[in-house]
Structure 1
Amino acid sequence: MNDEQTTLQLLHQKISVGMDLTFKKLVAYKAKNDGVLVFSDQGKIVKVEAKDIKL
């Protein structure tokens, strides 16, 4: 593995960790404010109450 591949893998890992943390913060904020999150599941819109999401 060369330096460029190693750098890209490290960047990918950091982005993934950041996205995970951001999602957890979003769910916590929405749960605190009785919010709803909207997802797409195979083209269908699904609404989920944030308090029902287990992390």
Structure 2
Amino acid sequence: MGTKEQLKEERDNIIKGLEETYRRLVEFKKRKNSPMIVIREGKIVAVDPYEILPTTLYKR
């Protein structure tokens, strides 16, 4: 396996990990009924966890 293939595989694994972490975070916030703190248009805002999408996709 060449360097490019290794880097692509590593990148894909990192992205899968980020997606799984996001899913678990949203799930946790819903269980605890705790707002998600995010940045929107440069401002910090609290968002109801039930308004957040349960999954997200990163560019691959």
- Asked whether the two chains share a fold, i.e. TM above 0.5, the reply is yes
RMSD over equivalenced CA pairs, Å: 1.4
Aligned residues: 54
**Structure 2 residues without counterparts, runs of 5 or longer:** 55-60
TM-score by length of 2: 0.78
| Runs of 4+, deviation exceeding 2 Å | none
* Percentage of pairs with the same residue: 24
**Structure 1 residues without counterparts, runs of 5 or longer:** none
Q: Comparing both structures, which one devotes a greater share of its residues to helix?
A: 1
Q: Comparing both structures, which one devotes a greater share of its residues to strand?
A: 1
- Structure index of larger Rg: 1
The one of the two structures with greater contact order (alpha-carbon pairs below 8 A, sep at least 6) is 2
TM-score by length of 1: 0.84
